[in-house]
C-alpha cells in the first residue's frame, strides 16, 4: 500500500491522492492505536491526526515507511528523533496556518487590551489601543511574518527575539522588526506574541529569569507549547499585576487543577489550540502535505524500478 490516511482530508485532496496512488482512507483508526499499528507493515507513507503517536514502537511495525504527514498544527505526537533514525521524513506545512495564527494573535491582543483595563491618567480604569504600541515577537516563525504585515496598519513598533537568528540576519530588516535580547524585549513591549517552535532546551525559557522584569501591565499571547513558560513564574507575574493578562492557545493537561500555580487566576485565558484551526488553513496544509508525499512516493517507486532494471 502506498498511503494510509487516518486524518480527515478535504474530498478534493483525497480524490487527487487516490487518482495517483494506492490509498487506504481509515479515519476510524484514530481511536484504535493497536489496529493502526497492525496495518502499517506494507505502508510507504502516513497522514496521521494528533491523537495517534508515531514513536519508535510504531516505526517497528512499519519497515517500508518513508514519510509521515501531519495536516493539523503541531507535531507533539511524532517522535522526530525516532523518525530521523529510521529515515522517515516528517511532512508538515510550516506556512499554511501562518495567516490564521496571525489573525488569532491580533484578535487576542485586542481582546486582552480592552477586557483587562489599567489605571489611567485620572485614576480610573481604562482599556488600551493596539495602535501605536510596541509589540514584541518571540520567535520569527512564519506567523510572525504575517503578524508584521498585518500590524503595519496599526502603526505599531515591532521588536523581536529569536534564539536561532543572529541580530545581523537579513530577515529582521525584511520583516521590519528590530532585533533585541529577550530581556530587552520584555522590558519594552506593551504586548508580546509568542510563536517560538518548542524544543526541550527551551522548556521554562519564560520563567523567573525574565518574567519578573516584564513592562508593567504587559499582555502576552502565545500559540507556542505552554512548556516555554515556567508555571510558578507566570503565576507570580499575573498575581502581582506585573502582567495584566495572558492568553495561552494550549496548556499542558492538569495545569489548571487545584494545587497548581495557575489555578484560579482570572487574568489567564486558555483556548484549546484554535489559532490555526480555520478551514482555509487546513485546506492549504492538506494540499502542501499531499503534494510532498506524492513526490516522495513517486520518487521511491521510480528509484525502485530503476534498481530492478539495473
Given this model, what pLDDT does residue 193 score? 98
238-275 pLDDT, tens per residue?
999 899 999 999 898 899 999 999 999 999 999 998 99
Residue 1, C-alpha cell as written in the block: 500500500
CATH among 1.20.20.10, 3.30.70.20, 3.40.50.970, 3.40.50.720 for 3-92: 3.40.50.720
175-185 pLDDT, tens per residue?
999 999 999 99
Given this model, what pLDDT does residue 195 score? 95
Output the pTM of the full model: 0.84
Q: Give me the residues paired with residue 27 across strands.
A: none
pLDDT mean over 144-150 = 93
Maximal C-alpha separation, the chain = 84
Given this model, what pLDDT does residue 302 score? 73
Mean pLDDT over the full length of the chain? 92
How do the domains of the chain map onto residue ranges?
Answer: 3-92, 98-270
Given this model, what pLDDT does residue 277 score? 87
Given this model, what pLDDT does residue 50 score? 85
For the chain, state the CA radius of gyration: 22
Look at residue 194 and give its three-state secondary structure: strand
Tell whether the model's pLDDT for residue 74 goes beyond 80: no
Residue closest to 241 by CA, chosen among 211, 221, 196: 211
pLDDT mean over 273-302 = 91
Task: Work out the pLDDT band at 305, boundaries 50, 70, 90.
Answer: low
Tell whether the model's pLDDT for residue 303 goes beyond 90: no
Given this model, what pLDDT does residue 273 score? 87
- Domain 98-270 in the same topology as domain 3-92: yes
Q: How far is CA 241 from CA 3, 158, 213, in A?
A: 52, 24, 12
Q: What is the CATH number of domain 98-270?
A: 3.40.50.720
Sign of CA dihedral 282, 29, 270, 73: negative
20-66 pLDDT, tens per residue?
999 999 999 999 989 999 999 999 999 999 888 899 999 999 999 99
Task: Work out the pLDDT band at 203, boundaries 50, 70, 90.
Answer: very high
Which residue spans within the chain are E strands per DSSP?
A: 3-5, 23-25, 45-47, 67-69, 89-91, 118-119, 125-126, 134-138, 157-161, 178-179, 191-194, 218-222, 243-248, 268-270
Q: How far is CA 299 from CA 85, 294, 306, in A?
A: 20, 8, 11
Look at residue 80 and give its three-state secondary structure: helix
Report the distance separating Cα 224 and Cα 222, nearest Å: 5
Amino acid at each position: 500500500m502506498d498511503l494510509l490516511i487516518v486524518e480527515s482530508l478535504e474530498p478534493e485532496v483525497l480524490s487527487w491522492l487516490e487518482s495517483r496512488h494506492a490509498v487506504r482512507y481509515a479515519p476510524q483508526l484514530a481511536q484504535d492505536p493497536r489496529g493502526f499499528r497492525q496495518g502499517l507493515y506494507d505502508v510507504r507513507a502516513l497522514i496521521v491526526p494528533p491523537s495517534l503517536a508515531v514513536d519508535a514502537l510504531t516505526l517497528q511495525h512499519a519497515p517500508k515507511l518513508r514519510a509521515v504527514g501531519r495536516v493539523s498544527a503541531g507535531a507533539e505526537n511524532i517522535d522526530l528523533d525516532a523518525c530521523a533514525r529510521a529515515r522517515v521524513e516528517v511532512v508538515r506545512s510550516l506556512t499554511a496556518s501562518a495567516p490564521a495564527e496571525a489573525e488569532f494573535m491580533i484578535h487576542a491582543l485586542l481582546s486582552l487590551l480592552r477586557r483587562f483595563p489599567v489605571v489611567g491618567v485620572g485614576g480610573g480604569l481604562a482599556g488600551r489601543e493596539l495602535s501605536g504600541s510596541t509589540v514584541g515577537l518571540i520567535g520569527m516563525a512564519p506567523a510572525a511574518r504575517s503578524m508584521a504585515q498585518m500590524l503595519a496598519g496599526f502603526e505599531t513598533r515591532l521588536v523581536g527575539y529569536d534564539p536561532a537568528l543572529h541580530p545581523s540576519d537579513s530577515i529582521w530588516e525584511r520583516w521590519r522588526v528590530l532585533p533585541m535580547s529577550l530581556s530587552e524585549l520584555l522590558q519594552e513591549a506593551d504586548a508580546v506574541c509568542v510563536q517560538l517552535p518548542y524544543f526541550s532546551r527551551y522548556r521554562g525559557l519564560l520563567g523567573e529569569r525574565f518574567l519578573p522584569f516584564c513592562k508593567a501591565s504587559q499582555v502576552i499571547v502565545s500559540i507556542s507549547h505552554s512548556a516555554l513558560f515556567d508555571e510558578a513564574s507566570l503565576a507570580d507575574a499575573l498575581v502581582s499585576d506585573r502582567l495584566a493578562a495572558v492568553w495561552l492557545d494550549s496548556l499542558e493537561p492538569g495545569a489548571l487543577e487545584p494545587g497548581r500555580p495557575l489555578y484560579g487566576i482570572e487574568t489567564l485565558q486558555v483556548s484549546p489550540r484554535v489559532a490555526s484551526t480555520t478551514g482555509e488553513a487546513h485546506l492549504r496544509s492538506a494540499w502542501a502535505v499531499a503534494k510532498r508525499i506524492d513526490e516522495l512516493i513517486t520518487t521511491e517507486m521510480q528509484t525502485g524500478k530503476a534498481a530492478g532494471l539495473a
